Amino acid sequence: MNGSLTGFEERRLAELKEHVAARAAAERVIRPRRRIVLAVAAGAAVAAGASVVTVSSLGGAAPAYAVTKDSDGIVYVTVRDTAPGDVPDVKGLTGQLKSLNVPATVDYVPAGQKCREPRGTVVTDIPRGLYHTPTTIPGDPDGWQMQIDTKLFKPGQTFVWSLDVDPVTGWNGTSTILMRDPVAPCELVPDDSPHYVSTMPWAKATSLGGYQAQGKTVGEVLSEIDKRGLKVTYLVTELAPDKPRYPDMSYVMYPTKQNTPVGKDWFVWQADEVEKGVIRVYVTQKLAAPRHH
């Protein structure tokens, strides 16, 4: 991974087959899922000469988003987390960014889907400072903010910003990439790309009373789960198709294969409690060889 931000996990969009050639041009950040709300960036509204644009949320309880632009041509956007289930107003946000001279398109991508590629030609020589990877808002661990320098866009470029739901973790994510015009609209199609799955340190089946599920068969683990009256869901995984880039990413999952029937002779390599009383088991037909560090 590219390092970590407070409360974030960064991943390169190069994990998607269509963007292999654009590894230096794309950024992806994922964070625990709630609901994406875009609001005024902390401190941005008081910047000298700042202009503020806000739009009410669908529910009317709080602003759905607001963007600011200071006298230096810097546009600020903040993303905050609230309740799950709502779809962000990406059309409205796209319009407001354009009104502040950001040639942008914003798309929402549900879990298990992706935008059909190619959408356009990726810009690899991105000017330093054009936009910054989202960073934590000081004093607000549940939000993050991004800034975009409108002076650095060249004619015929579009800032493509996707707000998506990670199919493995269920967390909200954001992907940013710069393209040359024309950029095709996001046509949602099933996501058939491999998603590398990490052995996450917090992934513990805490309701199994210390029972170690790793390495056991699905049948053995199901028997243990049944004894406790718990429910089970599966994350169907396969061995990584290539040499893992990181020691803790030996498996991949394909969203289009999540309805594959799971055999009791399959293996469990990880388990976690996705919600109270529901255990998710990570299953595979073939276990990865042990790694020596």
Model pLDDT for residues 72-104, shown as the tens digit of each residue: 999 998 876 544 556 778 888 899 899 999 999
pLDDT value at residue 2: 38
- pLDDT tens by residue, 170-197: 777 788 899 999 999 999 999 999 998 8
Q: What is the mean pLDDT of the chain?
A: 76
Cβ(184)–Cβ(129) below 8 Å = no
71's CB contacts (< 8 A; 6+ apart) are 47, 48, 49, 50
pLDDT tops 50 at residue 51: no
Rounded CA-CA distance 167/165 in Å is 6
Rounded CA-CA distance 93/183 in Å is 17
Q: Kindly give the pairing relationship between strand 104-109 and strand 157-165.
A: parallel
pLDDT value at residue 72: 92
Lowest mean pLDDT among 49-58, 230-239, 273-282: 49-58
pLDDT tops 90 at residue 224: yes
pLDDT value at residue 56: 29
